[in-house]
Chain A
Amino acid sequence: MINSLKKHFFWKHAFGEHRILSGDLDIAYINIKNIMRFSYLFFAVIIFMELQNVTIYQNINIIEPVWVMEIFKFFDTSILTFVLLSSSFIVLFLIFFLPDSHLLRIFFFLFFFLIIALNNSLGKISHGHYPSLLVAFFFTLIPSNKVDDYKLKSILMFATAQFFLLMIYSLTGFWKLFWGIIELFTKEVSLFSPLSLRNTLIYQFEVAEPTAIGTWFLEHYILGYLFYLVAVAIELFALLVFFKANMHKIWGVLILSLHIGIELIVGVSSFSIFYTVCIMLVISPFSKQTSLKETLFSFPIISQIYWLKNKTRG
Protein backbone atom coordinates (compact mmCIF):
# COMPACT_ATOMS: atom_id res chain seq x y z
CA MET A 1 0.00 0.00 0.00
CA ILE A 2 2.84 2.35 0.91
CA ASN A 3 4.45 1.56 -2.46
CA SER A 4 1.36 2.73 -4.31
CA LEU A 5 1.49 5.98 -2.31
CA LYS A 6 5.14 6.44 -3.26
CA LYS A 7 4.06 6.41 -6.89
CA HIS A 8 1.09 8.74 -6.37
CA PHE A 9 1.68 12.09 -8.09
CA PHE A 10 0.81 14.04 -4.90
CA TRP A 11 1.72 11.79 -1.96
CA LYS A 12 5.10 10.78 -3.41
CA HIS A 13 6.36 14.15 -2.13
CA ALA A 14 5.53 13.02 1.42
CA PHE A 15 8.37 10.49 1.30
CA GLY A 16 12.05 11.31 1.65
CA GLU A 17 14.29 12.96 4.18
CA HIS A 18 12.32 14.65 7.00
CA ARG A 19 9.04 14.21 5.11
CA ILE A 20 5.72 13.52 6.83
CA LEU A 21 5.30 9.89 5.73
CA SER A 22 8.92 8.85 6.10
CA GLY A 23 8.78 8.38 9.89
CA ASP A 24 7.22 5.58 11.96
CA LEU A 25 3.59 5.52 10.75
CA ASP A 26 2.38 3.36 13.66
CA ILE A 27 3.47 6.10 16.07
CA ALA A 28 1.90 8.72 13.80
CA TYR A 29 -1.39 6.79 13.93
CA ILE A 30 -1.33 6.59 17.76
CA ASN A 31 -0.60 10.34 17.87
CA ILE A 32 -3.55 11.01 15.56
CA LYS A 33 -5.92 9.04 17.79
CA ASN A 34 -4.72 10.99 20.84
CA ILE A 35 -5.04 14.33 19.07
CA MET A 36 -8.57 13.44 17.98
CA ARG A 37 -9.59 12.59 21.55
CA PHE A 38 -8.16 15.86 22.76
CA SER A 39 -9.86 17.75 19.91
CA TYR A 40 -13.33 16.78 21.05
CA LEU A 41 -12.58 18.28 24.47
CA PHE A 42 -11.72 21.46 22.60
CA PHE A 43 -14.91 21.25 20.54
CA ALA A 44 -16.83 20.96 23.83
CA VAL A 45 -15.24 24.26 24.95
CA ILE A 46 -16.35 25.94 21.71
CA ILE A 47 -19.92 24.68 22.16
CA PHE A 48 -19.87 25.74 25.83
CA MET A 49 -18.90 29.29 24.83
CA GLU A 50 -21.83 29.37 22.39
CA LEU A 51 -24.31 28.76 25.24
CA GLN A 52 -24.65 32.50 25.91
CA ASN A 53 -26.35 32.79 22.50
CA VAL A 54 -29.46 31.05 23.86
CA THR A 55 -30.09 34.28 25.82
CA ILE A 56 -28.63 36.73 23.27
CA TYR A 57 -30.74 35.35 20.40
CA GLN A 58 -34.07 35.72 22.26
CA ASN A 59 -35.20 38.73 20.22
CA ILE A 60 -33.21 38.09 17.08
CA ASN A 61 -34.68 36.60 13.90
CA ILE A 62 -33.06 34.61 11.11
CA ILE A 63 -33.12 37.47 8.61
CA GLU A 64 -30.49 36.38 6.09
CA PRO A 65 -30.33 32.58 6.25
CA VAL A 66 -27.39 30.76 4.70
CA TRP A 67 -28.65 28.01 2.36
CA VAL A 68 -28.84 25.28 5.01
CA MET A 69 -30.88 27.49 7.35
CA GLU A 70 -33.67 28.16 4.81
CA ILE A 71 -35.71 25.30 6.29
CA PHE A 72 -35.22 26.60 9.84
CA LYS A 73 -35.91 30.29 9.23
CA PHE A 74 -39.38 30.23 10.79
CA PHE A 75 -38.14 28.62 14.02
CA ASP A 76 -37.47 30.62 17.18
CA THR A 77 -33.74 31.45 17.05
CA SER A 78 -33.13 31.04 20.78
CA ILE A 79 -34.92 27.67 20.98
CA LEU A 80 -33.18 26.44 17.84
CA THR A 81 -29.81 27.43 19.32
CA PHE A 82 -30.68 25.62 22.55
CA VAL A 83 -31.69 22.44 20.68
CA LEU A 84 -28.55 22.42 18.50
CA LEU A 85 -26.18 23.11 21.41
CA SER A 86 -27.84 20.55 23.68
CA SER A 87 -27.71 17.92 20.92
CA SER A 88 -24.02 18.71 20.37
CA PHE A 89 -23.30 18.23 24.05
CA ILE A 90 -25.09 14.88 24.12
CA VAL A 91 -23.06 13.72 21.10
CA LEU A 92 -19.81 15.06 22.59
CA PHE A 93 -20.42 13.31 25.92
CA LEU A 94 -21.05 10.07 24.04
CA ILE A 95 -17.81 10.61 22.10
CA PHE A 96 -15.95 10.93 25.42
CA PHE A 97 -17.13 7.40 26.29
CA LEU A 98 -17.02 5.98 22.75
CA PRO A 99 -14.07 7.79 21.11
CA ASP A 100 -13.85 5.32 18.22
CA SER A 101 -17.44 5.79 17.06
CA HIS A 102 -17.42 7.01 13.50
CA LEU A 103 -21.18 7.72 13.52
CA LEU A 104 -20.91 10.05 16.55
CA ARG A 105 -18.19 12.06 14.80
CA ILE A 106 -20.51 12.50 11.81
CA PHE A 107 -23.36 13.62 14.09
CA PHE A 108 -21.14 16.12 15.86
CA PHE A 109 -19.99 17.63 12.57
CA LEU A 110 -23.62 18.02 11.43
CA PHE A 111 -24.65 19.85 14.62
CA PHE A 112 -21.52 22.02 14.58
CA PHE A 113 -22.17 22.84 10.92
CA LEU A 114 -25.74 23.92 11.77
CA ILE A 115 -24.66 25.98 14.82
CA ILE A 116 -22.21 28.05 12.75
CA ALA A 117 -24.75 28.30 9.91
CA LEU A 118 -27.28 29.70 12.39
CA ASN A 119 -24.76 32.23 13.76
CA ASN A 120 -24.12 33.36 10.18
CA SER A 121 -27.81 33.76 9.33
CA LEU A 122 -28.52 36.71 11.61
CA GLY A 123 -27.25 39.46 9.31
CA LYS A 124 -23.54 38.95 9.93
CA ILE A 125 -20.90 36.45 8.87
CA SER A 126 -18.06 35.40 11.11
CA HIS A 127 -15.31 33.09 9.87
CA GLY A 128 -13.67 32.44 13.24
CA HIS A 129 -14.97 28.87 13.56
CA TYR A 130 -14.45 27.83 9.94
CA PRO A 131 -11.03 26.17 10.44
CA SER A 132 -12.41 24.15 13.40
CA LEU A 133 -15.40 23.14 11.27
CA LEU A 134 -13.00 22.04 8.55
CA VAL A 135 -11.14 19.86 11.05
CA ALA A 136 -14.43 18.39 12.36
CA PHE A 137 -15.33 17.59 8.74
CA PHE A 138 -12.07 15.74 8.07
CA PHE A 139 -12.44 13.81 11.34
CA THR A 140 -15.72 12.39 9.98
CA LEU A 141 -13.71 10.94 7.08
CA ILE A 142 -11.23 9.16 9.34
CA PRO A 143 -12.42 5.54 9.31
CA SER A 144 -13.10 3.29 12.29
CA ASN A 145 -10.63 0.48 13.04
CA LYS A 146 -12.93 -2.11 11.45
CA VAL A 147 -12.04 -0.93 7.98
CA ASP A 148 -9.14 -2.36 5.90
CA ASP A 149 -5.94 -0.30 6.05
CA TYR A 150 -7.57 1.96 8.64
CA LYS A 151 -4.20 3.22 9.92
CA LEU A 152 -2.95 4.49 6.59
CA LYS A 153 -6.39 5.86 5.65
CA SER A 154 -6.54 7.76 8.97
CA ILE A 155 -3.05 9.14 8.41
CA LEU A 156 -3.89 10.31 4.88
CA MET A 157 -7.10 12.00 6.00
CA PHE A 158 -5.44 13.73 8.96
CA ALA A 159 -2.65 14.95 6.67
CA THR A 160 -5.31 16.18 4.22
CA ALA A 161 -6.87 18.21 7.06
CA GLN A 162 -3.45 19.75 7.74
CA PHE A 163 -3.10 20.54 4.04
CA PHE A 164 -6.38 22.46 4.03
CA LEU A 165 -5.54 24.34 7.22
CA LEU A 166 -2.25 25.46 5.66
CA MET A 167 -4.09 26.26 2.43
CA ILE A 168 -6.34 28.72 4.29
CA TYR A 169 -3.25 30.69 5.35
CA SER A 170 -1.68 30.49 1.90
CA LEU A 171 -4.93 31.81 0.42
CA THR A 172 -4.87 34.83 2.76
CA GLY A 173 -1.26 35.49 1.71
CA PHE A 174 -2.05 34.90 -1.96
CA TRP A 175 -4.90 37.45 -2.00
CA LYS A 176 -2.72 40.06 -0.28
CA LEU A 177 -0.01 39.57 -2.91
CA PHE A 178 -2.54 39.41 -5.77
CA TRP A 179 -4.28 42.67 -4.81
CA GLY A 180 -0.90 44.17 -3.90
CA ILE A 181 0.30 43.69 -7.50
CA ILE A 182 -3.00 44.99 -8.97
CA GLU A 183 -3.03 48.01 -6.63
CA LEU A 184 0.61 48.78 -7.37
CA PHE A 185 -0.59 49.89 -10.82
CA THR A 186 -4.05 51.21 -9.92
CA LYS A 187 -3.73 52.92 -6.52
CA GLU A 188 -1.27 55.14 -4.72
CA VAL A 189 -1.11 52.78 -1.74
CA SER A 190 -0.59 49.03 -2.15
CA LEU A 191 1.01 46.13 -0.26
CA PHE A 192 4.36 47.52 -1.48
CA SER A 193 3.84 50.89 0.22
CA PRO A 194 4.86 51.45 3.86
CA LEU A 195 1.50 53.18 4.34
CA SER A 196 -0.38 49.96 3.66
CA LEU A 197 -0.54 48.60 7.23
CA ARG A 198 -1.06 52.09 8.66
CA ASN A 199 -4.08 52.63 6.38
CA THR A 200 -5.47 49.20 7.25
CA LEU A 201 -5.21 50.14 10.93
CA ILE A 202 -6.92 53.51 10.34
CA TYR A 203 -9.72 51.63 8.57
CA GLN A 204 -9.93 49.01 11.34
CA PHE A 205 -10.01 51.58 14.13
CA GLU A 206 -12.85 53.41 12.40
CA VAL A 207 -15.02 50.29 12.50
CA ALA A 208 -13.82 48.75 15.77
CA GLU A 209 -12.20 49.84 19.02
CA PRO A 210 -8.53 50.94 18.62
CA THR A 211 -5.92 48.76 20.33
CA ALA A 212 -3.11 50.17 22.46
CA ILE A 213 -0.29 48.64 20.40
CA GLY A 214 -2.07 49.31 17.09
CA THR A 215 -2.34 53.00 17.98
CA TRP A 216 1.43 53.04 18.67
CA PHE A 217 2.07 51.44 15.28
CA LEU A 218 0.03 54.20 13.58
CA GLU A 219 2.83 56.54 14.59
CA HIS A 220 5.67 54.04 13.95
CA TYR A 221 4.26 52.61 10.76
CA ILE A 222 7.59 51.76 9.08
CA LEU A 223 8.34 49.25 11.86
CA GLY A 224 4.75 47.99 11.64
CA TYR A 225 5.14 47.58 7.88
CA LEU A 226 8.19 45.32 8.35
CA PHE A 227 6.16 43.09 10.71
CA TYR A 228 3.38 43.12 8.14
CA LEU A 229 5.67 41.83 5.38
CA VAL A 230 6.88 39.01 7.66
CA ALA A 231 3.22 38.16 8.44
CA VAL A 232 2.36 38.02 4.71
CA ALA A 233 5.37 35.72 4.14
CA ILE A 234 4.23 33.37 6.96
CA GLU A 235 0.78 33.20 5.36
CA LEU A 236 1.90 32.90 1.77
CA PHE A 237 4.46 30.13 2.29
CA ALA A 238 2.37 28.08 4.75
CA LEU A 239 1.44 25.44 2.19
CA LEU A 240 5.08 24.93 1.22
CA VAL A 241 5.81 23.35 4.63
CA PHE A 242 3.06 20.73 4.33
CA PHE A 243 5.30 17.79 3.35
CA LYS A 244 8.11 18.79 5.75
CA ALA A 245 7.82 17.03 9.12
CA ASN A 246 10.47 19.26 10.70
CA MET A 247 8.56 22.44 9.73
CA HIS A 248 5.10 21.64 11.15
CA LYS A 249 5.82 22.72 14.72
CA ILE A 250 7.86 25.75 13.60
CA TRP A 251 5.19 26.98 11.20
CA GLY A 252 2.51 26.25 13.82
CA VAL A 253 4.35 28.52 16.27
CA LEU A 254 4.86 31.18 13.56
CA ILE A 255 1.12 31.14 12.77
CA LEU A 256 0.31 31.40 16.50
CA SER A 257 2.68 34.40 16.69
CA LEU A 258 0.84 35.86 13.71
CA HIS A 259 -2.47 35.56 15.56
CA ILE A 260 -0.97 37.07 18.72
CA GLY A 261 0.23 40.02 16.61
CA ILE A 262 -3.17 40.38 14.91
CA GLU A 263 -4.93 40.36 18.29
CA LEU A 264 -2.55 42.92 19.84
CA ILE A 265 -2.27 45.26 16.84
CA VAL A 266 -5.51 44.91 14.87
CA GLY A 267 -7.76 43.66 17.68
CA VAL A 268 -9.18 40.73 15.68
CA SER A 269 -9.06 37.34 17.32
CA SER A 270 -10.57 33.91 17.37
CA PHE A 271 -9.67 31.46 20.11
CA SER A 272 -10.89 28.55 18.00
CA ILE A 273 -8.43 29.25 15.15
CA PHE A 274 -5.62 29.51 17.71
CA TYR A 275 -6.58 26.17 19.23
CA THR A 276 -6.99 24.52 15.83
CA VAL A 277 -3.44 25.51 14.85
CA CYS A 278 -2.17 24.10 18.16
CA ILE A 279 -3.76 20.67 17.66
CA MET A 280 -3.10 20.37 13.94
CA LEU A 281 0.41 21.82 13.61
CA VAL A 282 2.10 22.52 16.95
CA ILE A 283 1.46 18.94 18.12
CA SER A 284 1.43 17.52 14.58
CA PRO A 285 1.60 13.69 14.64
CA PHE A 286 4.31 13.87 11.95
CA SER A 287 6.44 16.46 13.73
CA LYS A 288 10.18 15.75 13.76
CA GLN A 289 13.10 17.66 15.25
CA THR A 290 16.21 18.12 13.14
CA SER A 291 19.54 19.92 13.58
CA LEU A 292 19.63 23.71 13.28
CA LYS A 293 21.31 23.52 9.86
CA GLU A 294 18.82 20.97 8.50
CA THR A 295 15.94 23.02 9.87
CA LEU A 296 17.24 26.21 8.26
CA PHE A 297 17.64 24.47 4.92
CA SER A 298 14.05 23.23 5.16
CA PHE A 299 12.56 26.74 5.28
CA PRO A 300 10.56 27.76 2.21
CA ILE A 301 12.60 29.71 -0.39
CA ILE A 302 15.89 28.67 1.32
CA SER A 303 15.12 25.02 0.52
CA GLN A 304 14.12 25.90 -3.04
CA ILE A 305 17.39 27.83 -3.55
CA TYR A 306 19.35 24.93 -2.01
CA TRP A 307 17.56 22.44 -4.27
CA LEU A 308 18.24 24.56 -7.37
CA LYS A 309 21.89 24.94 -6.39
CA ASN A 310 22.28 21.17 -5.99
CA LYS A 311 20.51 20.55 -9.29
CA THR A 312 22.78 22.97 -11.17
CA ARG A 313 25.83 21.33 -9.62
CA GLY A 314 24.54 17.84 -10.44
Chain B
Amino acid sequence: MKFYKNFVIFWSIIYLTLAFTGRFLSKKKEWYPFFRWSLYSKSNDKLEVSYVMVYKLGDSIFEKPKKLKTLEALHHLSSADIYAEYLKINEDFENNKAFNNLFFKDFFKQNSEYVMFKKKFDLRKEDYKEPTITKQLEFRNGKIKIYD
Protein backbone atom coordinates (compact mmCIF):
# COMPACT_ATOMS: atom_id res chain seq x y z
CA MET B 1 0.00 0.00 0.00
CA LYS B 2 2.92 2.30 0.71
CA PHE B 3 3.90 2.17 -2.97
CA TYR B 4 0.41 3.24 -4.14
CA LYS B 5 0.12 5.99 -1.53
CA ASN B 6 3.49 7.54 -2.26
CA PHE B 7 3.71 6.95 -6.00
CA VAL B 8 2.24 10.37 -6.85
CA ILE B 9 5.08 12.13 -5.01
CA PHE B 10 7.79 9.76 -6.17
CA TRP B 11 6.71 9.98 -9.82
CA SER B 12 6.29 13.78 -9.68
CA ILE B 13 9.92 14.13 -8.59
CA ILE B 14 11.16 11.73 -11.29
CA TYR B 15 8.96 13.23 -14.02
CA LEU B 16 9.78 16.86 -13.32
CA THR B 17 13.50 16.18 -12.87
CA LEU B 18 13.76 14.33 -16.19
CA ALA B 19 11.50 16.81 -18.00
CA PHE B 20 13.52 19.86 -16.89
CA THR B 21 17.00 18.38 -17.19
CA GLY B 22 16.15 16.86 -20.58
CA ARG B 23 15.78 20.38 -21.95
CA PHE B 24 19.48 21.09 -21.31
CA LEU B 25 21.15 17.70 -21.32
CA SER B 26 19.45 15.85 -24.15
CA LYS B 27 20.35 16.35 -27.81
CA LYS B 28 16.64 16.22 -28.73
CA LYS B 29 15.83 18.64 -25.87
CA GLU B 30 13.77 16.00 -24.10
CA TRP B 31 14.20 12.51 -22.75
CA TYR B 32 11.35 10.63 -24.30
CA PRO B 33 8.61 10.59 -23.03
CA PHE B 34 9.31 13.16 -20.29
CA PHE B 35 8.28 16.50 -21.75
CA ARG B 36 8.20 19.79 -19.85
CA TRP B 37 5.09 21.07 -21.75
CA SER B 38 6.45 24.50 -22.60
CA LEU B 39 4.82 24.72 -26.04
CA TYR B 40 3.88 28.28 -27.13
CA SER B 41 5.12 29.68 -23.81
CA LYS B 42 7.18 32.54 -25.21
CA SER B 43 5.88 35.69 -26.89
CA ASN B 44 7.47 37.01 -30.05
CA ASP B 45 8.51 40.62 -30.57
CA LYS B 46 10.41 39.71 -33.70
CA LEU B 47 10.05 36.76 -35.98
CA GLU B 48 12.66 34.99 -38.04
CA VAL B 49 11.39 32.24 -40.30
CA SER B 50 13.45 30.16 -42.69
CA TYR B 51 12.10 28.56 -45.83
CA VAL B 52 13.59 26.48 -48.61
CA MET B 53 13.00 26.85 -52.35
CA VAL B 54 13.69 23.66 -54.27
CA TYR B 55 14.95 24.01 -57.86
CA LYS B 56 15.90 20.41 -58.53
CA LEU B 57 15.08 17.22 -56.64
CA GLY B 58 17.36 14.35 -57.63
CA ASP B 59 17.13 14.28 -61.41
CA SER B 60 13.77 16.12 -61.58
CA ILE B 61 13.97 19.81 -62.47
CA PHE B 62 11.01 21.99 -61.48
CA GLU B 63 9.77 24.49 -64.03
CA LYS B 64 9.39 27.02 -61.21
CA PRO B 65 11.13 26.61 -57.82
CA LYS B 66 8.85 25.03 -55.21
CA LYS B 67 8.68 25.65 -51.47
CA LEU B 68 9.88 22.58 -49.56
CA LYS B 69 6.76 22.53 -47.40
CA THR B 70 4.57 22.08 -50.51
CA LEU B 71 6.34 18.78 -51.31
CA GLU B 72 4.62 16.95 -48.44
CA ALA B 73 3.69 14.01 -50.67
CA LEU B 74 7.42 13.33 -51.05
CA HIS B 75 8.85 14.06 -47.60
CA HIS B 76 5.73 13.28 -45.52
CA LEU B 77 6.51 16.04 -43.02
CA SER B 78 3.90 18.54 -41.89
CA SER B 79 4.60 22.29 -42.05
CA ALA B 80 5.38 22.25 -38.32
CA ASP B 81 7.86 19.40 -38.79
CA ILE B 82 9.59 21.26 -41.61
CA TYR B 83 9.76 24.34 -39.40
CA ALA B 84 11.35 22.22 -36.66
CA GLU B 85 14.02 21.17 -39.19
CA TYR B 86 14.73 24.84 -39.97
CA LEU B 87 15.11 25.55 -36.26
CA LYS B 88 17.65 22.73 -35.97
CA ILE B 89 19.56 24.04 -39.00
CA ASN B 90 19.64 27.59 -37.62
CA GLU B 91 20.85 26.35 -34.25
CA ASP B 92 23.59 24.38 -35.99
CA PHE B 93 24.64 27.50 -37.96
CA GLU B 94 24.76 29.56 -34.79
CA ASN B 95 26.54 27.09 -32.52
CA ASN B 96 28.80 25.15 -34.87
CA LYS B 97 28.90 27.27 -38.05
CA ALA B 98 28.06 24.01 -39.82
CA PHE B 99 25.26 22.17 -41.60
CA ASN B 100 24.67 18.64 -40.36
CA ASN B 101 20.91 18.20 -40.81
CA LEU B 102 20.37 14.50 -41.36
CA PHE B 103 16.86 14.87 -42.73
CA PHE B 104 17.99 17.28 -45.46
CA LYS B 105 20.99 15.13 -46.35
CA ASP B 106 18.71 12.11 -46.57
CA PHE B 107 15.95 13.81 -48.55
CA PHE B 108 18.00 15.87 -51.04
CA LYS B 109 19.94 13.41 -53.17
CA GLN B 110 23.26 14.38 -54.73
CA ASN B 111 21.83 16.03 -57.87
CA SER B 112 19.33 18.22 -56.03
CA GLU B 113 19.47 22.01 -55.92
CA TYR B 114 17.87 24.20 -53.27
CA VAL B 115 18.28 27.53 -51.50
CA MET B 116 17.33 28.34 -47.93
CA PHE B 117 16.19 31.89 -47.12
CA LYS B 118 15.34 33.71 -43.90
CA LYS B 119 12.44 36.16 -43.48
CA LYS B 120 12.57 38.67 -40.61
CA PHE B 121 9.59 40.55 -39.16
CA ASP B 122 9.53 43.27 -36.51
CA LEU B 123 6.41 42.54 -34.42
CA ARG B 124 6.79 45.18 -31.72
CA LYS B 125 4.34 47.52 -33.39
CA GLU B 126 0.67 47.19 -34.16
CA ASP B 127 1.38 47.66 -37.87
CA TYR B 128 4.44 45.55 -38.48
CA LYS B 129 6.51 46.11 -41.62
CA GLU B 130 7.11 43.80 -44.58
CA PRO B 131 9.81 41.21 -43.88
CA THR B 132 13.46 41.48 -44.92
CA ILE B 133 14.67 38.40 -46.79
CA THR B 134 18.27 37.08 -46.79
CA LYS B 135 19.93 33.99 -48.30
CA GLN B 136 21.20 31.46 -45.73
CA LEU B 137 22.28 28.34 -47.55
CA GLU B 138 22.70 27.07 -51.10
CA PHE B 139 23.09 23.49 -52.30
CA ARG B 140 24.16 23.12 -55.94
CA ASN B 141 26.33 20.59 -57.77
CA GLY B 142 26.62 18.51 -54.61
CA LYS B 143 28.17 21.37 -52.65
CA ILE B 144 26.82 23.35 -49.71
CA LYS B 145 27.47 27.07 -49.43
CA ILE B 146 26.61 28.79 -46.17
CA TYR B 147 26.05 32.59 -46.22
CA ASP B 148 26.84 34.85 -43.24
Contact = CB atoms under 8 A, between A and B. Distances in A.
B102 A160 contact: no
Interface residues of A, number: 65
A216 B110 CA distance: 44
B17 interface: no
B8 A120 contact: no
Interface string B40-65: 11111101010000000000000000
Contacts of A156: 4-5, 7-8
5 contacts: A124-B85, A149-B1, A172-B40, A203-B44, A209-B79
Interface string B112-140: 00000001010110101000000000000
Contact of A179 (B15, B41, B128): B41
Interface of B: 1, 4-5, 7-9, 11-12, 15, 19, 28, 30-33, 35-45, 47, 49, 76-85, 102-103, 106, 119, 121, 123-124, 126, 128
B43 A125 contact: no
B48 to A, nearest CB: 10
A8 interface: yes
A175 B4 contact: no
Given A195-B126, A206-B49, A160 B43 contact: no
A160 B7 contact: yes
Interface of A: 1, 4-5, 8, 10-11, 56-57, 60-61, 63-64, 66-68, 113, 116-117, 120, 123-125, 127, 130, 133-134, 141, 149, 152-153, 156-157, 159-160, 163-164, 167-169, 171-172, 175-176, 178-180, 183, 187-191, 193, 195-196, 199-200, 202-203, 206-209, 266, 268
A63 B42 CA distance: 29
B121 to A, nearest CB: 7
